[in-house]
Amino acid sequence: MAKKIITISREFGSGGRFIGEEVAKKLGISYYDKNIISRIAEKSGLSPEYIQESAELSPKKGLLAYALAGRDITGKSVEDMVYEAQRKVILELADREPCVIIGRNADYILKDRDDVLNVFIHGDMSEKTERIMRLYHIEEKEAVKMMADTDKRRMTNYSFYTDQKWGKASNYTLCLNSSQLGYDRCEKIIVECSK
Amino acid sequence: MAKKIITISREFGSGGRFIGEEVAKKLGISYYDKNIISRIAEKSGLSPEYIQESAELSPKKGLLAYALAGRDITGKSVEDMVYEAQRKVILELADREPCVIIGRNADYILKDRDDVLNVFIHGDMSEKTERIMRLYHIEEKEAVKMMADTDKRRMTNYSFYTDQKWGKASNYTLCLNSSQLGYDRCEKIIVECSK
C-alpha cells in the first residue's frame, strides 16, 4: 500500500530534517516541522513562543519536570495541554493531505493509520559533531553537549508520551544511518518506500 | 565506499535469513548461516551438534546460564570458547571474500572494518506469527512462544558479548520492517546500499 504520510524521527545532527525537506520536495507534498507551531498555539491557546520552548526541544524539561509542572483544574499539566494540541494538529494534517512530518512523536500519534511510513535517521558521532559545529558555529565540546542534551530530551519526551523506546528499530518502518549511506541515498530510499 | 560484507541480524519470523540468501544470490557472493558451524567446531574442538545447540539458538541458556556454565582451567566457560571460535571464523571469512553473514553478532565482531553493511530485519507480529506457523507447522500459541523465546535468546547473547542493545537502530546501517516493505523491496534496498 502506498504511504501517504511520512514521519521522520532523527538524532540531532543526523540531517533528518534536511532529508525530510528534500523528500517532500521530490514527492511534491507538504512539509511540516516548525511551521506547525502556530497551529498548535491556536489549538492550545498558548503562545507560539511557549510551544516552541515547551515541546520536544525544551531545554530544561526532563521526566521530573513533567511530574512537577503546573496543572490546571482538570489535572492536566501545561505540557500535557501542548501535547494534546500537537496530537490533534498532527491527526488533522494527516487526514487532510499527504505530507512529511518531522519529529513530535508523529509516528506514535498516527499509529492507527496504515498509510504511514515511519523513518528514523541516525548517524555516526564524528559526522554529526562536525555538522553541528558547522551549522551553529560552535566548538566541538559544545556541539557534543548540545547533541547529547537534545537527544536526551527527545528520548524523554517520546518515552513519556508513547511508552515506547525512541530509536528502537521495531518502532519504525525504516531506519537509516545517514553518515554511512549519504543523504542522497537516504532520500531515494524513503521516496522509493513511499510508493 | 562499497560494502564488501553484509551482516544480517533479524527478529525470528521476519524473513531475514531468506532475504539474506536472496541478496547473496543477487550479488553473486557467499552466504554464511548454519554452514559456518562446522568451521566453528573445527576451530573450537567441540562437536558441531554442541555448537548448534550452544550458540545463538541455545534453548536453555540465559544470562544466568552464562555465569554458571562450566569453566576450563583458563577460566573460560564452554560458551566463551564457542564464541571465541565463532569470532575468529567470522573475522577470517570477512578477510577472505565478500559475503552475507546471518546473525552470530557479526555486526559487532566486524566493527573495526569500514566495508561492512549492517542490516537489522524486523516485522509485524501478525505476519511473523503466520510465517512461523506455516514454516514449522505449529499452532499460533506455540509460534508466539517460539518467537518470544528465540528473540530473547538472541537479545541476551548479543547484550552479553557486545554490551550493546540488540535491535537498537543506531547499531545498524539499515533497519527494515519486512512486513511493511515486502521481502523484494528489502532485498533491493540492501543490494543498492552495498554499492
Nearest CA in chain B to A11: B170
What architecture (CATH level 2) is domain B5-193?
3-Layer(aba) Sandwich (3.40)
Q: Is the dihedral of CA A120, B8, B185, B179 positive or negative?
A: negative
**A5-185 homologous superfamily:** P-loop containing nucleotide triphosphate hydrolases (3.40.50.300)
pLDDT tens track for B14-48: 999 999 999 999 999 999 998 888 888 887 777 78
For residue A156, pLDDT over 60 is answered with yes
Band (A67; pLDDT cuts 50, 70, 90): very low
Count of other CB atoms within 10 angstroms of residue B9: 28
Distance from CA of B181 to the nearest CA of A (A): 7
- Residues of chain B with Cβ-Cβ distance to A169 below 8 Å are 120, 122, 167-169, 172, 175
d(CA A34, CA A41): 12
Dihedral of CA atoms A99, A104, A107, A108 in degrees, nearest 10, equals -140
What is the reported pLDDT for B1? 62
With an 8 Å Cβ cutoff, the interface of chain A facing chain B consists of 11, 117, 120, 122, 167-170, 172-177, 180-181, 185, 189, 192-193
Contact between A167 and B170 using a beta-carbon 8 Å cutoff: yes
List pLDDT tens digits, range B58-69: 434 444 444 444
Query: Across residues A74-83, what is the average pLDDT?
Result: 75
Q: For residue B11, list chain A residues with Cβ-Cβ distance below 8 A.
A: 170
Provide the shortest C-alpha distance from residue A17 to chain B (in Å): 17
* pLDDT score, position A45: 79
Contacts of A195 in chain B (CB under 8 A): none
Residue A57 has pLDDT above 60, yes or no: no
The verdict on a CB contact (< 8 Å) between A173 and B180 is yes
Report the alpha-carbon distance of residue B195 to residue B185 in Å, rounded.
Answer: 16
* CB contact (8 A) between residue A120 and residue B185: no
A75 pLDDT band, cuts 50/70/90, is low
The pLDDT of residue B16 is 96
Instruction: Report which of residues A34 and A76 the model is more confident about.
Output: A34
Structure-model confidence comparison of residues B96 and A47, the more confident one:
B96
pLDDT 10s digits, A90-100: 999 999 999 99
The domain spans of chain B are: 5-193
Average pLDDT along chain A: 87
Interchain CB distance below 8 Å, A169 and B173: no
Rg for chain A, CA atoms, rounded? 17
Q: Which chain A residue's Cα is nearest to B194? A: A181
Contact B120 A192 (CB under 8 A): no
Which has more pLDDT, A37 or B76?
A37
Asked if B185 lies within 8 A of A193 by C-beta distance, the reply is yes
Q: Return d(Cα A36, Cα A22) in angstroms, integer.
A: 18
Q: What is the ipTM of this complex?
A: 0.87
**Confidence check: pLDDT of B7 > 70:** yes
Residue B178 confidence (pLDDT): 98
Q: Which single residue is written with the C-alpha cell 567446531?
A: B41
* Whether pLDDT at A70 is above 60: no
State the pLDDT at residue A37. 82
pLDDT tops 50 at residue B142: yes
Model confidence at A140: pLDDT above 50: yes
Of the partner residues B167, B169, B173, the one whose CB lies closest to the CB of residue A120: B169
DSSP 8-class letter at A1: -
Which of B87, B100, B110 shows the shortest CA–CA distance to B31?
A: B100
